[in-house]
Chains A and B, each alone.
Chain A
Amino acid sequence: MTRIRRYAIAVGSVALAAGVLFALMRDRPATVAAPSPLAAPSATPAPVTPAPVAPTPARSATPAAAATPRRSAPPAVRAHQWPDDRTPFGDAVKQVQAWADAGDTRAAIELTSQLSTCTPYGLRATEASDESDRQYIMNDLTDDQLTKAQRETRRANTMQRINENAKRRADCAALPRDLVAHWLDPLDRAAQSGDTYAMREYARLAMAEYDGVAAVVADVDEAITRRDKARAYLDEAVRLGDTSALVALAGAYAESATINLYAVDAARAHAYAYAALQAAELTAMERDRMTWLLNRSARALDASALAQAEAEGRRLYARCCSGR
Chain B
Amino acid sequence: MRWLVLALAVIAGAALLYRHVATSSGTADAPTRAGKAGASASAGSPRTSTAPPSTKAADDLDDRPFVDVRAELERRAERGDAHAAARLGRAFAQCNGYVPVDDAQLESWVVEATARGVTLNVDGHPLGPDALLARLKANQAQRARDCANAGGIDEQDPRPLAFHWTERAAALGDADAQALYGNLAFATYNARSAIVDAEQLRERKRLARDYLERALAGGDALALQQMYLHYAHGTLYPEDAEAAYRYLYAYSLTPRSAEMAPAALTGLLDEAAAALDDGARERARRAARDLAACCMSPGSP
Residue ranges of A at the interface with B (Cβ–Cβ < 8 Å):
1-15, 17-19, 131, 207, 210-218, 220-221, 223-224, 227, 257, 260-264
Contact = CB atoms under 8 A, between A and B. Distances in A.
A7 B196 CA distance: 29
Given A214-B186, A216-B195, A260-B196, 18 more contacts: A1-B123, A2-B275, A4-B268, A6-B122, A6-B123, A7-B122, A10-B12, A11-B13, A11-B16, A14-B12, A14-B13, A15-B13, A19-B9, A210-B195, A214-B233, A217-B194, A220-B202, A263-B192
B20 interface: yes
A260 B20 contact: no
Contact of B196 (A1, A221, A263): A263
Contacts of A257: 192
Nearest to B124: A131
A213 B186 contact: yes
A284 B145 CA distance: 59
B232 A216 contact: no
A2 B244 CA distance: 10
B259 to A, nearest CB: 15
Contact of B123 (A10, A207, A223, A261): A10
A279 to B, nearest CB: 26
Is chain A's interface secondary structure helix, strand, loop, or mixed overall? helix
A211 B271 CA distance: 26
A220 B237 CA distance: 12
Contacts of A17: 5, 9
A3 B267 contact: yes
A14 B5 contact: yes
A13 B10 CA distance: 12
10 contacts: A2-B271, A10-B123, A11-B16, A15-B10, A15-B12, A214-B235, A216-B201, A223-B195, A260-B192, A261-B196
B234 interface: yes
B198 A224 contact: yes
Question: Which of B127, B205, B239 has the largest number of chain A CB atoms within 10 A?
Answer: B205
Contacts of B122: 6-7, 9-10
A70 B274 CA distance: 52
A24 B236 CA distance: 33
A263 B194 CA distance: 10
B192 A18 contact: no
B123 A2 contact: no
Nearest to B118: A14
Contacts, number: 122
A261 B195 contact: yes
Contacts of A15: 9-10, 12-13, 16
Interface residues of B, number: 46
Nearest to A134: B124
Question: Which of B16, B186, B268 has the largest number of chain A CB atoms within 10 A?
Answer: B16
B180 to A, nearest CB: 15
Contact of A4 (B6, B8, B19, B127): B19
Nearest to A227: B195
Nearest to A1: B123
A142 to B, nearest CB: 11
B105 interface: no
B15 to A, nearest CB: 6
B9 A4 contact: no
B16 A12 contact: yes
A9 B12 CA distance: 11
Nearest to A11: B12
Contacts of B195: 207, 210, 216, 223, 227, 260-261
B120 A211 contact: no
B104 interface: no
Given A11-B15, A12-B16, A14-B12, A216 B123 contact: no
Nearest to A216: B194
B121 to A, nearest CB: 5
A131 B244 CA distance: 27
Contact of B19 (A1, A8, A216, A224): A8
A206 to B, nearest CB: 11
A13 B235 CA distance: 20
Question: Which of A15, A261, A264 has the largest number of chain B CB atoms within 10 A?
Answer: A15
B140 to A, nearest CB: 13
Interface string B195-218: 110110110010000000000000
